[in-house]
Amino acid sequence: MKHTWTLLLLFILLGITKTVAQETADLQVKITTTEDLRIQLAAENNTGKKLYLSVRMKEDGATFNRVAETEIYSEEISGEISSFNRVLNLSKLESGTYRISVKAGKHHVDRFVDIRPKPVVEDARIILVQ
C-alpha cells in the first residue's frame, strides 16, 4: 500500500474540533480550532490595556528547565478596542507544538496546539479480469 503524509491536527486538548472559552472579569477569550488547522479567536477586552496576541513554536530541547520558543506571529491591539476577532491559519506550519497567547494587563490566556503527521492510506484497487 502506498502511504502519503499530510499534516493534520491530532490533538487539541480533548478533540479534533474544540472550542475553549476562558474568562476573567475583564478579559474573555474564546478559541475554536477546526479540523483544517484554522484557529478562530474572539476576545472581549474590558481591561483598558493593550491586547497582545502571539503564536510561538516550542523548540526541541530545553536548557536549565526552560522551554525555548520561537515567535512566529504577534499582534498588538489598542486597549480602546474592546471586541477583537481573528482567524489564524496554521495549516502550512511544520510539525510541532505551538502556543497561542492572549494577554491584556495582568490577564493571560494560553492554548497549546500539537501538529503531527498522520499517515493517510489510499484505498486498495481491485481489478477484475474476465
Question: Domains in the chain and their CATH numbers?
Answer: 3-117 (2.60.40.1920)
- The amino acid that residue 71 corresponds to is E
Give phi and psi for 128, each to the nearest 5. -100, 130
SS3 96: strand
pLDDT digits (tens, 9 = 90+) for 66-114: 678 899 999 999 999 999 999 999 888 888 889 999 999 999 999 998 8
**What is the band of 16 on the pLDDT scale with cuts at 50, 70, 90?**
very low
Residue 4: the pLDDT is 31
Question: What global pTM score does this model have?
Answer: 0.68
